[in-house]
Amino acid sequence: MRWKLPFSPWHLLLMPLALIFVLPLVQMLLTSFMSSAEINQFPPKLIPTSLHLEGYRHLFAETPALRWFANTVLVSGIAVISHLALCSMAGYGFARLKFAGRGLAFVLILATVMIPIQLLMIPTYLMFARIGIVDTLAAAYVPWLASAFGIFLMRQFFLGLPAELEEAALIDGAGPWRTFRSIVLPLAKPALTTLAIITLLWSWNDLLWPLVAISDDHTFTLQVGLANFQGMRRTEWSQLMAGNVLATMPLILAFLFAQRKFIATMTFTGIKG
């Protein structure tokens, strides 16, 4: 007779995997509440003896981390709002309106998807230097005002909507703006949610571009601030982990609360992206 596990064998694969994926983040959170003495021990301790706040205190005392946090919130906020407004308008334009140059403009937009950021960063930096926005927050958010991906996502969504509702509105005498605002946009909520989540994820986590465009440490975003802070001085792990908590927890909490929407967004990126 075959010996049988009292539970599905899949647990033997999933349980260790789940721990590998989540434990480092748990350790990050716990370490941010440890004292330096506790951290610099071998074998490492996983649970702090009591809630030490020195990591956070030192972080806020020695770096403008709160400022970085506010900068990140501002850049991501502008990125999301602008994406929602401009990409939904453009998506609607390309899906439903007829105008001279529409085909060419859309092909050009699609072609830009292949161009890597590394190719663009040198001329974009020079361009921003010339108009005088290097080292300001504008340099960080201007490239995030709209994206080819966002336009494409919204256009695909609008193409899939039945046109009858809009036609009825137009026959009733509503102009294209009113039709868009009061008929089309309310129907586009799922696509707008996807767009908002993906823009938030990408803009919040961006490192390379703000690193290039900003060198004044009061204008850093969190990712840039932490990455540079880590390289600058002897590493105090409790401070770094406190900074990491600040940089990751907002998105992790958002993910935990809206897991379904996040997963739908990731799936969408995979299928339509």
* Region 11-30 residues binding other proteins, contact defined as CB under 8 A: 11, 13-15, 17-22, 24-25, 27-28
Distance CA 10, CA 43 (A): 32
252 contributes a contact to other proteins by CB under 8 A: yes
* Region 199-238 residues binding other proteins, contact defined as CB under 8 A: 201, 204-205, 207-208, 211-212, 223, 226-227, 230-231, 235, 237
Which positions from 31 to 70 touch other proteins by CB under 8 A, shown as an x/- string? Answer: x-------xxxxxx-x------------------------
Q: To the nearest whole angstrom, how small is the minimum distance from the Cβ of residue 184 to other proteins? A: 11
Question: Which residues are within 8 A (CB) of 154 and not within 5 positions of it... i.e. 6 or more apart?
Answer: 87, 88, 90, 91, 92, 95, 188, 191, 195
Please select the residue that binds other proteins; options are 6, 123, 162, 186, rule is CB under 8 A: 123
84 contributes a contact to other proteins by CB under 8 A: no
Distance CA 29, CA 47 (A): 10
Q: To the nearest whole angstrom, how small is the minimum distance from the Cβ of residue 189 to other proteins? A: 19
Token match 């958010």: residue? 141
CA distances from 183 to 56, 124, 192 (A): 48, 38, 14
In the complex with other proteins, which residue's Cβ is closer, 151 or 191?
151
Distance CA 271, CA 267 (A): 6
261 contributes a contact to other proteins by CB under 8 A: no
